[in-house]
A and B are shown apart, each in its own frame.
Chain A
Amino acid sequence: MSTLLDVKDLIVRFYTQEGTVYAVNGVSFDLEEGETLGIVGESGSGKSVSSLALMGLIPSPPGKVESGTVVFEGRDLLTLKPDQMRLIRGKEIAMIFQDPMTSLNPVLTIGTQITESLKLHEGMNTSQSRKRAADLLDMVGIPDAYRRLDDYPHQFSGGMRQRVMIAMGLSCNPKLLIADEPTTALDVTIQAQIIELVKQLKDEFNMAMIWITHDLGVVAGIADRIQVMYGGRIMESGSSHEVFGDSRHPYTVGLLGSLPRLDSSGEEKLTQIEGSPPDMRNEPVGCPFAPRCDVREALALERCWEERPPLETVPEAGGDGAHIMSCWADIREGVA
């Protein structure tokens, strides 16, 4: 397996009237071909902004990619000109957005929207692209696909619209699919349908995938590797077994502890993380989780406030050292 995507030191800021928003503060990760990476974080953790930066979709102004490199198949996407980027977007890297209600154009038919990228990237004519579009809709489980090409988005239900989005994303056989909270707006039974569909298609197309979500349960089922983000930084990253089974960062531990489990009766109280997520308008100094961290409190660590912990291999990690975290403390000697 070779590296498909290599992101280094990505920094994204938004210069707004209320001040500078430090959205992404130095994020580095890579992705192998065919691998699924789950990026987990709460609102404001920078998970969506970092993926938009990969696609060159940060609205500017107010946003600005301050520094960093995004190397995709040997080319740095951040240095490409807009028309070069256009050839990659939708063709090599495709994206599925969270809200299927707002990410489809309401005044164009589904057919027009799917065939757009086929005509642009694959050079198909109208009848070829319509045939391919119908095949795609059929593949994502939309019955009577050819006839439905002439329907408008409002004639589809939420789950169906998300299927249309997936069909659009897959239309040009991308090497990388970025799914930004693709099931958050859907009900659980529909979510299960979509996850099952994406898993099956991913194997068929041999794509790499980045699945962005706030739902730890969803990524547990689909991701090979998981990356936990907080305050615009990566807190912990590793295989899903490592991150869930051997969590080392106090934030990951806190997050998992605060989730009730479907498969156990909830007699014990949920452990809660005190306080609220950081205001991203404050310039990041030290560890973003420090104000809410019970391990820092228990060990009375002062450097958490001033120095930013590096992303390093966790102490006594199993496996190949891919389990990394950004924390000064070793949680195992921390809280009792």
Chain B
Amino acid sequence: MSSPALAVEKTKLQNEDDYILEVHNLKKHFPISAGIVFQRQVGAVRAVDGISFNVVRGETLGLVGESGCGKSTTGRTILQLYRPTEGNVKFEGQELSTMTGNDLRQMRRRMQIIFQDPFASLNPRMTVGSIVSEPLQIHKMYNNKKERQQYVEQLLERVGLNPYFINRYPHEFSGGQRQRIGIARALALQPSFIVADEPISALDVSIQAQVVNLMEELQDELGLTYLFIAHDLSMVRHICDRVAVMYLGKIVELGPVDEVYENPQHPYTQALLSAVPVPDPQVEENRQRIIISGDLPNPADPPTGCNFNTRCPVRFDLCFEEPDPPLIEARPDHYVSCHRVI
């Protein structure tokens, strides 16, 4: 049930205008080249194609969508791990898209990332201690060896690992424990903002709750802001304050999480939510599913008109003629990009 009190609280939060991150018209196109000797660009994969949103300090913004919709690219482009093709990213008041070299490295102290795959994101030849202390080395913090070790031990303990494991290698840990190591590494520089790129998708069901609870505790304790990228819509409802739904490189719906889940306005969000199975046979029996046919179009060759017009159950003439419906406020704080909603 959505509590009205909560919605009011979130609205207030937004009016404070304490944005930690402002993303404006962000685009990331990956070139497609042809030719062996003389390479020329023949097209572009429009992974992220003009998105704008803000993140309020202390909140968790969920970014959901199916594979290939550009949600991970968005996370990485915000952190400047990919440089944007176009658009602006303002983090704590500073423009990142034009920043380079040492300035950018300094900003990285404040923003970190937790990766999806805990098996691929830890160097198998480094001990846990050196993995977690590498950011400290790069940023020349805790230069005293003993102090640094103490700090790393504290970090490990905080994420629920025995500090005694400091000299072990990643392969000696389970998936859940490795994800904790990844979290400890992200926390080492005491960032204010963390992009969590599908941090629990690779974990077993009984381990997912452990990692999510840890992330929530850390947020309360350290005042962290999360951009939580996920495709598990049930988990997003649990952990996020607001949610942005992406489809083919664009945001189609954005709003407070309970509001979006209970009153989805965009036909894609409606189909997406109705497709998520609920672990309760009684609910499942009485559920009406909206099944959308077909697959995601190729992001190198998006349809003309609205991106969703190839699969939309409620499309009409305008959806094929007018490009991109604008993201408009359909309900308080609830933004939708659909010709039907205007």
Contact = CB atoms under 8 A, between A and B. Distances in A.
A273 B212 CA distance: 12
Interface residues of B, number: 50
A265 B237 contact: yes
B271 A189 contact: yes
B281 A240 contact: yes
A258 B257 CA distance: 20
B106 interface: no
Interface string B184-227: 00000000000000000000111111101100100000000000
Given A265-B258, A276-B174, A188 B292 contact: no
Contacts of B287: 221
Interface stretch (A10-18, A164-172, A211-219, A302-310): A211-219
Most chain B CB within 10 A, of A159, A260, A261, is at A260
B278 A187 contact: no
A217 B277 CA distance: 5
B238 A266 contact: yes
A245 B280 CA distance: 8
Contacts of B234: 217, 259-262
Interface in A248-271: 254-256, 258-266, 269-271
Interface string A62-98: 0000000000000000000000000000000000000
Contact of B281 (A193, A244, A261): A244
A260 B279 CA distance: 10
A256 B208 CA distance: 12
A107 B30 CA distance: 29
Interface residues of A, number: 46
A262 B295 contact: no
Given A244-B280, A265-B1, A260 B272 contact: no
A241 B206 CA distance: 21
Contacts of B272: 188-189
B205 A196 contact: no
Most chain A CB within 10 A, of B177, B234, B235, B279, is at B279
Nearest to A183: B277
A309 to B, nearest CB: 19
Interface string B63-107: 000110000000000000000000000000000000000000000
Nearest to B283: A263
B312 to A, nearest CB: 12
A214 B202 CA distance: 12
B261 interface: yes
B276 interface: yes
A9 interface: no
A255 B292 contact: no
A159 B275 CA distance: 15
Contacts of B67: 187
A269 B204 CA distance: 18
B161 interface: no
A189 B205 contact: no
A265 B205 CA distance: 19
Contacts of B174: 276-277
Given A220-B281, A244-B280, A265-B1, A192 B275 contact: yes
A241 B281 CA distance: 6
B205 A255 contact: yes
B206 A216 contact: no
Contact of B2 (A42, A265, A271): A265
Interface of A: 42-43, 157, 159-160, 187-193, 195-196, 214-218, 220-221, 240-241, 244-245, 254-256, 258-266, 269-274, 276-277, 292
What are the 9 A-B residue pairs with the smallest beta carbon separation, nearest first? A266-B238, A217-B277, A260-B238, A258-B209, A192-B275, A187-B66, A221-B284, A216-B279, A272-B209
Given A217-B276, A274-B210, 13 more contacts: A160-B295, A189-B291, A190-B66, A196-B291, A221-B284, A259-B234, A261-B234, A261-B278, A262-B278, A265-B3, A265-B258, A271-B209, A292-B206
